[in-house]
Amino acid sequence: MSSSNSIREFGDRLQALRYVDGADEGFLVEQAGPIRIQATFVERIQRTEAVIDPFGREEKFELVEYRKSEFSISEGPTGFEIKDAGRGSSRLISKLLEAVNFDFTISPIAVDPLVWAAKFQEHADRRGLIDKVQIGSIRIGQGAVAQLLVKGTVDVAAAATKFVGEFAYEIERVQLRLAAKQGSIVFLATGAVSITSYIEKDWLGPIRSSLATF
């Protein structure tokens, strides 16, 4: 992520577009400091639903949904994070661009999930095992590619890469099973993670710092 605006200026612009009661959309800024912004983009979606009663008459009613996209912005190449990215992500990015007069660039990041998982363990000072590896774009012949999923009760990283041998391939995601029943983390080549752990917040710092090494 890059922009000529400082983090504080970014926060001020989001505050100017804050969500108010009854609005269609806007930002709720939970934290706005000189180095980091923590905020939520809120969309109010209202639609009309229709049902047919037992006598064949149509009844209409209004349905309101609030879609929330939590995100953070900080300095550095990996300074833009979206939590639980979903259907609202594209609208969020559109509104961020609008907030800073399109002086905001997001560049995709590509990492090796196996390397990332190893670096995470160093930064978190925790150990685990890679119990699932997904490999894609395996070039098995002219115009032919394959996808491979390897999983087990032991560390399968070496077995997975050995299986594809000399084929060209891309590791798409790996699952790190943490020791002492502390859950698991899936690392993706796109720079995303999926955490299944009762102590999720403990891993966010090491995830960010290890990603920043790429």
Query: Each residue of 132-185: pLDDT tens digit?
Result: 999 999 999 899 999 999 999 999 999 999 999 889 999 999 999 998 778 899
Sign of CA dihedral 93, 95, 98, 100: negative
pTM of the model: 0.80
Select the more confidently predicted residue: 27 or 77.
27
Contact 170, 135 (CB under 8 A): yes
C-alpha separations of 39 from 17, 32, 95, 105, 213 in Å: 12, 8, 13, 18, 25
Whole-number Å distance between alpha carbons of 174 and 111: 12
Contact 96, 29 (CB under 8 A): no
Query: Each residue of 7-31: pLDDT tens digit?
Result: 888 888 899 999 998 899 999 999 8
Contact 203, 121 (CB under 8 A): no
**Tokens standing for 144?**
């032919």
Q: Name 211's Cβ contacts closer than 8 Å, sequence gap at least 6.
A: 78, 109, 111, 116, 191
Position 194 pLDDT exceeds 60: yes
Q: Which residues of 162-190 are buried (b: 16+ CB within 10 A; e: fewer)?
A: eebeeeebbbbbbbbbbeeeebbbbbbbe
Query: Each residue of 86-123: pLDDT tens digit?
Result: 766 888 988 888 888 887 777 778 899 999 999 999 99
**Tokens standing for 100?**
């800073």
**Chain center to CA of 45:** 23
